[in-house]
């Protein structure tokens, strides 16, 4: 199996720094609302037979006045994929060994007028190495102003690196974050990318730089949207709309989300993997 590489350590350091700054910003929003809520962090260790250093991670969860439930996880793991699962992973068809590090965030908001959000970036090493990730906005009650601002921020981030990125990655998000059995998208989109391969140091540096900008863009744009909506009045009907929408969100994550499957197939911490599920949801 691959040893922890310098590239993996560098990517992990960035993901942990981003986690710390996001959590501090979300706690600051709670203070503005008069709440003392803070993140609770739970470390976990991965186990794999015959693997002396399988890695692990830290699950961070906050339940507050603005953020009804938000999870921010960072994990760094290595080992071997099960043979059948290895066939589905880039570069693991002939050698199932891998290492992976990443940050994953899902926020479910107390006020139905504040959009839920997902953000994830990751670095994987098999026989190949690559970055993937993205961010998408998931409002129970959409506002065109919020949607446009979110997309404009990521359009600008993409444009700094490649003029084709935004069109490609926003289309990929629309196709990926779709619930076929409902015939609906799970939200209003964003960007989704994968397999930005790092076959040399220059490619690694270039793709890490882009991945950093994805994280920085999220940290800039999402708190602004939260502050804009978090004091909005809402009705019981608004809350019912939110709970029904959360049911759709849960369906996507449990049935279609590749990150959920990856975590479960690689022996990740179940509570960390399923932290994306909302605290309350309804189905008709």
Q: Report the catalytic residues.
A: 118
Helix 144-159 to helix 165-176 angle (10° resolution) is 130
User: Could you say which architecture CATH assigns to the domain 6-276?
Assistant: 3-Layer(aba) Sandwich (3.40)
Q: What is the pLDDT of residue 4?
A: 57
β-pairing verdict for 67-80 and 97-109: antiparallel
Chain centroid to CA 75: 12
Instruction: List, for residues 44-63, the tens digit of each pLDDT value.
Output: 999 888 888 899 999 999 99
* pLDDT interval class at 265 (50, 70, 90): confident
Instruction: List, for residues 209-240, the tens digit of each pLDDT value.
Output: 999 999 999 999 999 999 999 999 999 999 99
Q: Using CA atoms, how far apart are residues 109 and 164, in angstroms rounded to an integer?
A: 33
pTM of full prediction above 0.85: yes
How much of the chain is helix, strand and coil, in % rounded to 5? 45, 25, 30
Instruction: List, for residues 126-184, the tens digit of each pLDDT value.
Output: 989 999 999 999 999 999 999 999 999 999 999 999 999 999 999 999 999 999 999 99
Q: What is the pLDDT of residue 2?
A: 45
HSE-up of residue 86 (Cα within 13 Å, Cβ side): 18
Mean pLDDT of the chain: 94
Q: Lowest mean pLDDT: which of 195-209, 225-239, 253-267?
A: 253-267
Q: Are 93 and 212 in contact (CB under 8 A)?
A: no
């Amino acid at each position: 199996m691959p040893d922890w590489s310098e590239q993996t350590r560098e990517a992990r350091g960035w993901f942990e720094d981003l986690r710390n700054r996001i959590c501090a910003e979300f706690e600051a929003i709670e203070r503005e609302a008069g709440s003392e809520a803070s993140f609770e962090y739970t470390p976990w260790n991965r186990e794999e037979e015959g693997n002396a250093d399988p890695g692990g991670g830290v699950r961070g969860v906050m339940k507050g006045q603005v953020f009804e439930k938000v999870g921010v996880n960072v994990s760094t793991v290595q080992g071997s994929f099960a043979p059948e699962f290895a066939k589905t992973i880039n570069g693991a068809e002939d050698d199932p060994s891998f290492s992976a590090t990443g940050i994953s965030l899902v926020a479910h908001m107390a006020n139905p007028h504040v959009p839920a959000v997902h953000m994830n970036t990751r670095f994987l090493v098999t026989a190949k190495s690559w970055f993937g990730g993205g961010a998408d906005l998931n409002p129970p009650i959409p506002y065109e102003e919020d949607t446009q601002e979110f997309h404009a921020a990521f359009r600008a981030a993409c444009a700094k690196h490649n003029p084709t990125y935004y069109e490609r990655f926003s289309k990929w998000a629309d196709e990926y974050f779709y619930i076929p059995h409902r015939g609906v998208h799970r939200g209003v989109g964003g960007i989704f990318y994968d397999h930005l391969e790092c076959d040399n140091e220059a490619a690694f540096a270039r793709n890490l730089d882009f991945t950093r900008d994805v994280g920085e863009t999220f940290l800039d744009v999402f708190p602004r949207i939260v502050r804009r909506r978090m004091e909005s009045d809402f009705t019981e009907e608004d809350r019912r709309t939110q709970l029904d929408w959360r049911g759709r969100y849960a369906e996507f994550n449990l049935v279609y989300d590749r990150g959920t499957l990856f975590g479960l197939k690689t022996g990740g911490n179940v509570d960390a993997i399923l932290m994306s599920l909302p605290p309350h949801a309804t189905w008709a």
